[in-house]
Structure 1
Amino acid sequence: MNLPKRAEDAHSALAAAFNTGDVATVLSMYDASGIIVPEPGKPVSGEAQFEEAIKAILAIKGTMEIKTVYCLQTGNLAIGRSEWNITDGEEVKVSAKGIELMKQSEDGTWKIVIDHAFGAEGDLIA
């Protein structure tokens, strides 16, 4: 898995990683010192919790698609807003609007530090 060299490519790279179905490939997209919110109100951090969250999302069989609504970058930080879904044929299994904070590594690649998968939902509280 090649990590993105541009912040605006992080969403498509994340979808490609999820669509491999491989936990290690998906985990490579994240900075495990950050936070992932795999379901509203349940943020997790740390490598073990990240892996558990990724396995739960991968258990939803289907294809992930992520549309970048915007990506704003300053220096080695970027924030993105996404609209994503997991579909199986015509069936939409999960659909949401997320917010992601990315950080550029010293090697020039981008990793996701905060992934609030439902962070841009209009009815989200907290």
Structure 2
Amino acid sequence: MTSHDENAGILPVDAERLTAAYMDAFNSGDAERLDRLYEDTGVVVPSPGRPATGAERAAADRYLLGLGLPIDARLRHAYVSGDVALLVVDWSVHGTGADGHEIRIEGTAADVARRGPDGLWRYAVNNPFGTGRTPR
């Protein structure tokens, strides 16, 4: 785990700021910075019903970063209970891809964040499609 000083300015001290920190890290294009927003065992759900952690989590985030398009993310609700928070976030990635085709990916996230011993918030679960169901 990295030190508090290394995370200063990346990880927020308020759960309500984690969405903005994610958007800033994503839009920087820096995969390592984005990965620092997760707990060591944090999970991302790149498609409904398919959680990923560790190297798979990093690969899923790199795939989205590889689109080269910015993310717009707006916190709708933050429900904080002690060191745990549920964040409901409306987000979209929209623009023209490198191949010239229009890309539009969007959803309403249901994310779980946890405050670490250092007082900073990280994703325990980044679930960008919230309650979306896997297409049948």
Using the size of structure 1 for normalisation, the TM-score is 0.88
* Separation in structure 1 between the aligned mates of residue 89 and residue 40 of structure 2, nearest angstrom: 20
Please state how far the C-alpha of 1:72 moved relative to its aligned partner: 0.5
Q: Contact (CA 8 Å) 1:17, 1:25: kept in 2 or not?
A: yes
* Separation in structure 1 between the aligned mates of residue 73 and residue 131 of structure 2, nearest angstrom: 14
Is 1:27 aligned with 2:27?
no
Cα gap change, 1:82 to 1:120, in 2 (>3 Å): farther
Cα gap change, 1:92 to 1:70, in 2 (>3 Å): farther
Corresponding residue for 2:14?
6
Corresponding residue for 1:40?
48
* Separation in structure 1 between the aligned mates of residue 10 and residue 26 of structure 2, nearest angstrom: 13
Corresponding residue for 1:56?
63
Please state how far the C-alpha of 1:41 moved relative to its aligned partner: 2.2
| Counterpart residue type for residue 106 of structure 1 | P
84, 101, 108: which one aligns with 1:97: 108
Larger Rg: 2
Give unmatched runs, 5+ long, in structure 2.
Answer: 1-8, 97-101
Please state how far the C-alpha of 1:92 moved relative to its aligned partner: 5.5
Question: Number of residue pairs matched?
Answer: 122
Corresponding residue for 1:82?
89
Corresponding residue for 1:106?
117
Regions of 4+ moved over 4 Å: none
Q: State the identity as a percent.
A: 24
Secondary structure, in 3 states, of the residue corresponding to 1:86? strand
Using the size of structure 2 for normalisation, the TM-score is 0.82
RMSD of aligned residue pairs (Cα, Å): 1.8
